[in-house]
Amino acid sequence: MADRLNGTRILILETREEAQFSKLLAEQGAEVVQCPMFTIQDAPDAAPVEAWIRRAIDKPFDDLVLMTGEGLRRVMKLAGARGLDQAFVAALAKSRKFTRGPKPGKALRELSLEAQQTTEKPTTEGVIEMLGKLDLKGHRLGLQLYPDKDHSALIGALATQGAEVDTVLPYVYDSKAADTNIVAAIDDMAAGRIDSIALTNLGQVRRLIEAAKVHGCEAKLRAGFDRTLIASVGPSVSGELAAHGLRTDVSPPDEAFFMRPLISAMATALSERKQGAAAR
């Protein structure tokens, strides 16, 4: 298994778990080109987040829905700064907990808590489908949101089921900080200096398109995609690619939306591509 990516240059855009992903790729022999899409920052106004934490402590939610692991960690950071972390964890222990995919579940386990249920697919639609099977009438439901996403469909679906939805948005994206690196990455792709780009959340696709438009290099980005193996971690990313007229070359097997299966699928595809090029 070792060195399956030897001699390949892989572009990764992940910010939150960049170090882990980079390490896993390097273990397989890849040269990793890192280009974070944005900087994650705490919510500029901490007051609404603190108020949400205090409401959860004063009267624990019947149900808690976590959309991202980053969100829970940011909430815990503020709770710790206010001396509320132990009380907050105790309150969470009393709630039914639901997660969008594996990352929020991992963040829960860091607190010695477990999700009662995780979506089959790590998408908002998956959350709506999962919760749609439950009786939520009269339930107080805490909902942790994430930036750059219209959550009205999810909130509306929960309200239609009779839930009293209490939302929190604990962090924001600073998308301007990385523009120079993004343009350089687009140049590398277009010049054929990248063997594969690995996309691990749909925001990365949107950010690439947005930055390319702002800097007048959208045609160069699409040319780069044409000659680069596009690896997607799962259906939400593949759906976003398709929405922009872009393909997915590699994705992990069904319901294996994790880094290791993604890397394994990339190694197989790149090996086949190399063999095909040699045959020609």
pLDDT tens-digit map of 6-48: 999 999 986 555 567 888 888 889 999 988 877 788 999 999 9
- Output the pLDDT for position 85: 97
Q: Does residue 172 register a pLDDT over 80?
A: yes
Structure token pair of residue 141 = 């439901």
- In terms of DSSP H, where are the helices of 59-162? 69-81, 85-92, 102-109, 124-132, 152-160
Structure token pair of residue 242 = 């398709």
- Residues 150, 259: one domain? no
Domain housing 81: 41-173
Structure token pair of residue 6 = 């030897």
- Residues 246, 263: one domain? yes
Q: Does residue 259 register a pLDDT over 70?
A: yes
Mean of the per-residue pLDDT values of the chain: 91
Task: State the Cα–Cα distance between residues 65 and 152, nearest whole angstrom.
Answer: 15
Higher pLDDT, 278 or 111: 111
What CATH number corresponds to the domain at position 220? 3.40.50.10090
Q: What is the pLDDT of residues 75-113, one digit of tens each?
A: 999 999 999 999 999 999 999 999 998 889 999 999 999
- Residues 33, 69: one domain? no
- 157 belongs to a structural domain: yes
- 229, 30 contact by CB (below 8 A): no
- 85 belongs to a structural domain: yes
Structure token pair of residue 230 = 């596009």
- 4 belongs to a structural domain: no
Task: State the Cα–Cα distance between residues 16 and 42, nearest whole angstrom.
Answer: 13
Question: Quick one: what percent of the chain has pLDDT higher than 70?
Answer: 94
Q: Which residue has the tokens 């990793």?
A: 32
Lowest-pLDDT range of 114-123, 153-162, 251-260: 251-260
- Residues 70, 183: one domain? no
Indicate the number of domains in the chain. Answer: 2
- Residues 261, 193: one domain? yes
Of 152, 173, 194, which residue sits at a domain end? 173
Question: What contacts 148, CB < 8 A, 6 or more positions away?
Answer: 173, 203, 206
Task: State the Cα–Cα distance between residues 86 and 59, nearest whole angstrom.
Answer: 15
- 3 belongs to a structural domain: no
- Residues 130, 197: one domain? no
Question: What contacts 104, CB < 8 A, 6 or more positions away?
Answer: 66, 67, 68, 69, 71, 72, 115, 144
Of 149, 173, 197, which residue sits at a domain end? 173
- Output the pLDDT for position 20: 78
Query: Under DSSP, is residue 238 helix (H, G, I), strand (E, B) or coil?
Result: helix
Q: Does residue 279 register a pLDDT over 70?
A: no
pLDDT classification of 149: cutoffs 50, 70, 90: confident
- 1 belongs to a structural domain: no
Of 132, 155, 173, which residue sits at a domain end? 173
- Residues 129, 181: one domain? no
pLDDT classification of 258: cutoffs 50, 70, 90: confident
Considering the entire predicted model, what is its pTM?
0.66
